[in-house]
Structure 1
Amino acid sequence: MFKKHVIYKTDNYNMLTVEVRGKTLVVREISDQWGEDCHEFLSRPQLMHWAENRYRPEDFTGREQEREAIMAALKEV
């Protein structure tokens, strides 16, 4: 049984989930523009490093709270 965390879900086509599979973290990023991307990480620091690069502050100008919520949810995994 895997533990699944929903980081954000705006609708059925735009969401980010993290599955905890033992020591492996599987991130599924689904968007209506790009389809589904799947990333596997072996540690939480590796996951957070990816997230810092994927969700850059300059991409969230005017939506800083949205980015902060995403990063906080990822840290809780």
Structure 2
Amino acid sequence: MIKKHEIYKTDKWNMMTVEVQGRYIVLREISDQWGEDTHTFISRPAMMQWVHNRFTRESFKDNEEEYERIIAAFKQV
């Protein structure tokens, strides 16, 4: 059984989803700048390490609520 989580979606070109496929976690990032990028993780701690590198608190200085919402969504996976 595949469990799918939508992390964020601004439109059909800017979104991020996470699918739990057995013991693998597949993260798909779709952006109008870079196209689709897929990352596969074997554990939640590995995924969270990537998340904290990808979404730094400094890059959300002006929007702390958005940062907290994204991190909380990943913690629900």
TM-score normalized by the length of structure 2: 0.97
CA distance in 2, matches of 1:45, 1:9: 23
The equivalent residue for 2:56 is 56
Paired residues, what number?
77
Which residue of the partner structure matches residue 16 of structure 1?
A: 16
- How much does 1:3 deviate? 1.0
Q: What is the aligned-residue RMSD (CA, Å)?
A: 0.7
- SS of the residue 2:33 aligns to: coil
* Equivalent residue, structure 2, for 1:70: 70
| Matched position secondary structure for 1:45 | helix
> What residue ranges of structure 2 are gaps of 5+ in the alignment?
none
Shift of 1:6: 0.2
| Aligned structure 1 segments of 4 or more residues deviating by more than 3 angstroms | none
* Residue 38 of structure 1, CA deviation: 0.2
